[in-house]
Copies of this chain bind each other. A is one copy, B any other.
Amino acid sequence: MDERAALAVLEDELGPVGDDAAVVSDLVVTTDMLHETTDFPPGTTRYTAGWRAVGASLSDVAAMGGRATAAVAAYAAPEFDESELLAFVRGASDVCDLVGAEYVGGDLDGHEEFTVATTAFGTTDAPVRRSGAEPGDLICVTGTLGRSAAALELFERADSSERQSGSAQTDTSDREADLERANELFRFEPRVDAGRTLAPHATAMMDSSDGLARSLYQLAEASECGFAVDSSAIPIDDAVFDTAETDEAALERAITFGEDFELVVTIPEAALESAEAATTVALTPIGTVVDDGITMDGEPLPDRGYTHG
């Protein structure tokens, strides 16, 4: 059984598990587990890892339109190195600070692979779910897509340059620049503020952690609708063009790679102006909600994306 089949089994048992976070009374709760081999490429600093792991959970709170209250992390590693541990905790604290949440610590645990489990919680009176999109609504995304895909390319380039060429001076400084930029791209801003300010205008919302294409499929399933997307409207991050060789490759990365933690949100056309005015983050309409079918530029858009390991 793969992860999606397993989720379907759980849905039968527990009821709908489709949203980014669970809601209990006015509390939003969400948990994630990340591993070195699948989530932190070689060159990821522990500061970035702490930021990103906790940020991923804060993003789920954002996707429900919640105010972020606090986050915890369980940190498992083969050994506890003081500077690594402190860097992790500072990354976790800094991303919490950025969105007005409190980092309240967690658990330490010996484990052969560096593994982090994070939980974030927040509050909301009116959670925005994946269901609720109506034909005629606009489908929008916050920020830009492709940052994590670009980061991964840079991590890979730095790693292969290290393995191939040893210690030539120019290589070293190029490599360091790649790693610094990759880490920067990996430290995204969780869209908590945007989620909260867009919530009153939104009919459906989720984050783009599985990629835009898959997010559209998930929203379509929950809302029983379709989407018609215009590829030229998709806000591709500049960083993608640093490594993508063609515009087609750049677009492909922006819509399928995922892990960007932007918000994918449907908004009635009449509410778009007030939604844009309410948020300080770029909000880009990329298409419209239709009755059924998911298309880009009139062609079927395949359900491809990142299945989280």
Q: Which residues of A contact B (CB under 8 A)?
A: 1-3, 5-7, 9-10, 13-14, 17, 22, 24-25, 27, 29-33, 35, 38, 69-70, 72-74, 76, 79-82, 85-86, 89-90, 93, 102-113, 115, 117, 119, 121, 308-309
Contacts and interface: CB of A to CB of B under 8 A. Distances in A.
B1 A31 contact: no
Given A5-B80, A14-B103, 7 more contacts: A1-B81, A1-B82, A17-B105, A22-B72, A27-B69, A29-B70, A29-B119
A102 B24 contact: yes
Contacts of A107: 31-33
Contacts of A108: 3, 6-7, 10
Given A24-B102, A109-B308, A110-B38, A89 B13 contact: yes
Contacts of A81: 1
29 contacts: A1-B81, A3-B108, A3-B109, A3-B110, A5-B80, A6-B82, A6-B108, A9-B86, A10-B85, A10-B89, A10-B105, A13-B86, A14-B103, A17-B105, A22-B70, A22-B105, A27-B70, A29-B70, A31-B72, A31-B73, A31-B106, A31-B117, A32-B74, A33-B76, A33-B115, A72-B119, A115-B115, A117-B117, A119-B119
Contacts of A121: 27, 29, 121
Given A1-B81, A24-B104, A111-B35, A30 B86 contact: no
Nearest to A110: B309
Given A31-B74, A76-B33, A309-B110, A104 B10 contact: no
Contact of A70 (B6, B24, B73, B79): B24
Contacts of A9: 82, 85-86
8 cross-chain pairs, A with B, having the tightest CB-CB distances, nearest first? A117-B117, A22-B104, A6-B80, A119-B119, A33-B74, A1-B80, A31-B72, A33-B109
A276 to B, nearest CB: 33
Contacts of A115: 33, 76, 111, 115
Contacts of A76: 33, 35, 115
The interface centre, meaning the residue of A2, A29, A79 with most chain B CB atoms within 10 A of its CB, is A29
Nearest to A22: B104
A144 to B, nearest CB: 26
A14 B111 contact: no
